[in-house]
Amino acid sequence: MSAKTEKLLSLLNGQPVVPVLKIANVADAVPLARALARGGLPAIEITLRTADALEAIRRVAGEVEGAIVGAGTILDARQFDEAAAAGSKFIVSPGITNELLAAAKDSPVPLLPGAITPGEIMAAREAGLRFLKFFPAEQSGGIASLKAFASPLADVKFCPTGGITGKNAADYLSLPNVICVGGSWVAPDDMVKAGRWDEIEALARAASQLGR
């Protein structure tokens, strides 16, 4: 196992759910991250799907003690470098490309790339990656696919994301090759917009106990 895979596992192992966040208002980033951390989910993924995403990452990295902020929806080397410079502790991409692998090779920030086919998983494995995002999980065979990978690709672990909810997360977490799951249900848009941080903290606390 590569040092970067070990680093990524050290960041995310032990936290069953990684909140996947789309920050529409940058002012929400810090109180949201604090609420999630108080609830037991310090590692979060802020997706680069909004104009303020990089600023949100900067603020969380600089202002929320104990937070482990990662950047998601990274599609190319430029975004990888920008996210790392903003303070991301890990980088998440929906897929795997040679450009991203090259960017990750030259960076101390570990990459969690998406992979759903045996070929993609083997390509990541050849690059020294043993911990991958399985995305989009539900649309790509979900639990059945991950069970099928467990034997032939026994040394590869996954973080399924996409269609994961509070109702099916525990089923995914019961699989031997699943370390954690990614999901947005712990920070519903309406709660974030209304600043209902106590309710989000409660959702995070419940999610932090899944699979235990």
Catalytic residue positions? 45, 133
Cβ proximity of 91 and 111 under 8 Å: yes
Question: What DSSP string describes the chain?
Answer: --HHHHHHHHHHTT-SEEEEE--SSGGGHHHHHHHHHHTT--EEEEETTSTTHHHHHHHHHHHSTT-EEEEE---SHHHHHHHHHTT-SEEEESS--HHHHHHHHT-SS-EEEB--SHHHHHHHHHTT--EEEETTTGGGTHHHHHHHHHTTTTT-EEEEBSS--TTTHHHHHTSTTB--EEESTTS-HHHHHHT-HHHHHHHHHHHHTTT-
